[in-house]
Structures are given as C-alpha cells and as structure tokens.
Chains A and B, each alone.
Chain A
C-alpha cells in the first residue's frame, strides 16, 4: 500500500481538467465560425501561459496570474491573419481563465483534505497500530519499549496541544551538553497516515511517553495524553 498517494489532490486535478474540458466543449459548440479542433486546443494551452505571482496561503502555494502572456502571443500571431482572432479569442481566454479554475480547485483541495483528514485527530497520522515500534534517538533516552496494550487503549485519548517549541529548547540551554535531557528522545515507527492523505510523517515521542510530536509536510502537530505508551526504563 502506497501511502504517499494524495487521493484528494488527484481527484481534484482530474476534476479541474474536466471543468476546463467542459467549457472548451461548450464554447466550441456555441461558436459559429469553428476553427479546427486541434488549433482550438493549442490556443487554449497557449492561453494558460501567464506572468504570475506565487502566494503562499493555507500551507499551499497559489499561482495567481497577473499578465495574460499567452493571450498576447496569440493576439500578436492572429493580428496578421484576417478573422483569426475572432476564431481563437474565446479559447485563448479560456486558457487564461483556467488558471483561476486551478486556484479554486487548489483551495477546494485544501478544504476537502482538512475535512476528510482532520489535522486535529491523531488517527489521521497514526492509522494503523499493529506494527508500531519505538526506537531511541538520543543518549538521554531510556531503555523502554512500546506498551502495545496502552497504545491500543489510549490512542483515541490523545488530544491536540500547542507546540511550545521555545520552552522545549530553552529548558536545556543552561545545562551542560552531556547532561542534557531531550524532550523527544524516541521515534515511533511502523505506522503511516490514513490512506489517501498522502501525508508523510516523522513521529517523535516525548520522554514521559505521553506526548507525540508529528512532523509532516505541513506544520508540526503535538498531541498529549494522560497515559504513557511506553514501558520499562525508570518509570516502573
């Protein structure tokens, strides 16, 4: 099972091209002086070409078109040919407008992705717990193992909490390096995010076994529980 597939993105990409195809068909049917269909295709594709700005928004990047370069190229090309612009005008602008269709579907993708894969639920990031394992990442890590029973019982009790990165960092700053105790000295592996979410994950486990810090393609998420998922070490 390939977990890197972002099913929402794939569906939305197909959908956006479908919408463009629909408009293309609609315009082609409506037009009286019909150009050759492949030429109308080319006009649409050239129309896509713009001078654009990248605006990062909602943890994605929006390509906002500013200047319709492709439309201008076609206009320049058609200017020497009588009646050509009349024929291709609509398709060129369809190409330009397609950029806005992409913006709309990108935003919709983010929205739907959040709805289908809620980022405040741990189950989005840890979809299966049968083969989960713990490994040590730091000398201050203790010789612990995963408490499988505890994880199964309490995985749903983990709640979103703020990432207090500065505190975790600063608490050790005055300590001698060899005495430093890492806040997240373990990795939780052997699991993956929900199918179709396409979210790669790096899951750090807090030293008390009650917190999970999840690094992914988006912002970090932090989940806390009242119960530890580790056993062994000095706690018992």
Chain B
C-alpha cells in the first residue's frame, strides 16, 4: 500500500514538473532579435531573383511590444516591409511585402491601441502626402421588426510623406480612433455567441483605406513594378486600398 502511494505521488510530481516546464518553454520571453545578416538571408530567400542577392539593406528594426517587430528594408531599389513575430520560441517571418502602399498591422487584434499604420514607399514617387482613413459603411437592417442602423464612420488623418526623413514609417492610431475601435470591437465580439471558437476577431464592416496625393493635391498612386507580398497567416495585416473619390462623404 505504501509503495503504491509513493508511486502515485511520484507520478503527480513528474506531471507537474512537465506541465510547468512546458508552460515556461512556450511562454518564455523572447530572446534577442535576429541579427542583420540572418535577417538579410531570410529576406533574400523570399525573392528568387539571383541578382537581388546581397543587395538587401535593413533600414531599421522597430519593436512593437515585446513579441512583434517591424523591419523595413530596401532590396535592389525595391522598398519593402517585413513583419516578425515571436512564436514557439523563435522569431518567425509573419509577412513580407514590396507593394507600395501602407498597411495596418493589428498587433493584438482584440486591442485597438496596439494597431499601427506602417509603410515603406519609394521616395522617388510623385506622392507627397497621404491620408489614412477609418471607414464604416452606412447600413440598416430590419428583421422581425427589429431595426438596426449602422452610422457612416469616416475619419482621416494626413501624413506628410515628403517632409519625413525616412521612406518608412510606423504610426499608431489617433486616440479617437482607438476609443471608437475599442467599443466597436467589444460590441461586435459580444454579438457572436460562438466567438470563442475563433481566436481572431474580424470586425464586420469597419475598414481602413488610404488616399495618396501629389504636390498638386491630385490622386497619385505609387506604382509597384516588382511588388510582391507574402503572408503566412499568423499576423493580422490589413492592406489599404484607395477609395473612389465619389464615395467620400
């Protein structure tokens, strides 16, 4: 009987130690970020062009919290952005892009205060400034006499691109946007009874857009001749399209 008890205790102890160590293993704080030459190597493998090799220049390494890193780079005159996340005890490439447009990176999708607008655009373009928009479509629905109205939301903030020192940028959202999105995300999340089934939140209608302008204030969309993007489905990156002028209120 005594022998038995010892065995049970030993088993419990072993299981406890295993669980605790596994927890620390997968939830450990990130190590130092990958060094530059390693970064260049990974970025190079994303683009097959042989002559692109060795021409990658890392512009900066921007930490967004402890586990998310934004790395703008120039590769053979192509301006690009890359997105890194700390997952399973290593730094993984979440996405990489040389398409000339801004993105909204929802670092923690359920917390809009972590959302950032990022870009890396060739300074030789005609574009001198751009507007970032937060939009929601006006809509209504009636079912079983239950009315629902969605007000139009249209907010914008101007980024003076030509006065910026760098071709890239990271901008967190204005406070009013965060306040709005915070309420919006919480309400939308609570509307889905099975929301715990999905670990990512997708607000139904709210979206981001942008409008690039040249020095005359005319729409001037930067071209991306060799632009290509790749996502690995582990990050929440929203690409911004331009809005037809007639849709703006």
Q: In residues 161-192 of chain B, which contact A (Cβ within 8 Å)?
A: 176, 179-180, 183-184, 186-187, 189-191
Q: How far is the CA of A219 from the CA of B180 in the complex (A)?
A: 19
A contact residues, total (Cβ < 8 Å): 36
Interface 9-residue window, one of B38-46, B75-83, B151-159: B151-159
Contacts of B191 in A (CB 8 A): 217
Tell whether, in the assembled complex, residue B183 and residue A187 are in contact, meaning their CB atoms are under 8 Å apart: yes
Tell whether, in the assembled complex, residue A200 and residue B148 are in contact, meaning their CB atoms are under 8 Å apart: no
Asked if B147 CB lies within 8 Å of chain A CBs, one says: yes
Asked if A201 CB lies within 8 Å of chain B CBs, one says: yes
Contacts of A202 in B (CB 8 A): 183-184, 186-187
Asked if B197 CB lies within 8 Å of chain A CBs, one says: no
Binary contact track A167-197/B, C-beta < 8 Å → 1, others 0: 0110010000110101111010100000000
Contacts of B4 in A (CB 8 A): none
Tell whether, in the assembled complex, residue A165 and residue B187 are in contact, meaning their CB atoms are under 8 Å apart: no
With A135-B180, A182-B138: A177-B246 Cβ-Cβ less than 8 Å: yes
Tell whether, in the assembled complex, residue B247 and residue A177 are in contact, meaning their CB atoms are under 8 Å apart: yes
Q: How far is the CA of A164 from the CA of B151 in the complex (A)?
A: 12
Q: How far is the CA of A177 from the CA of B246 in the complex (A)?
A: 7
- Assign chain B's interface to a size class: 20 to 34
Asked if B249 CB lies within 8 Å of chain A CBs, one says: yes
Contacts of B140 in A (CB 8 A): 165-166, 168-169
Measured CB to CB, the closest approach of chain B to A144, in angstroms, equals 14
Q: Is the interface of B mostly helix, strand, loop or mixed?
A: mixed
Contacts of B6 in A (CB 8 A): none
Tell whether, in the assembled complex, residue B152 and residue A219 are in contact, meaning their CB atoms are under 8 Å apart: no
Measured CB to CB, the closest approach of chain A to B176, in angstroms, equals 4
Contacts of A79 in B (CB 8 A): none
Measured CB to CB, the closest approach of chain A to B177, in angstroms, equals 9
Tell whether, in the assembled complex, residue B147 and residue A164 are in contact, meaning their CB atoms are under 8 Å apart: yes
With A184-B151, A187-B180: A177-B249 Cβ-Cβ less than 8 Å: yes
Q: How far is the CA of A140 from the CA of B249 in the complex (A)?
A: 8
Asked if B65 CB lies within 8 Å of chain A CBs, one says: no
Tell whether, in the assembled complex, residue A139 and residue B154 are in contact, meaning their CB atoms are under 8 Å apart: yes
Tell whether, in the assembled complex, residue A169 and residue B149 are in contact, meaning their CB atoms are under 8 Å apart: yes
Residues of A within 8 A of B (CB): 4, 61, 135-140, 162-166, 168-169, 172, 177-178, 180, 182-185, 187, 189, 200-204, 213, 215-217, 219-220
Residues of B within 8 A of A (CB): 138-142, 146-149, 151-155, 176, 179-180, 183-184, 186-187, 189-191, 193, 246-249
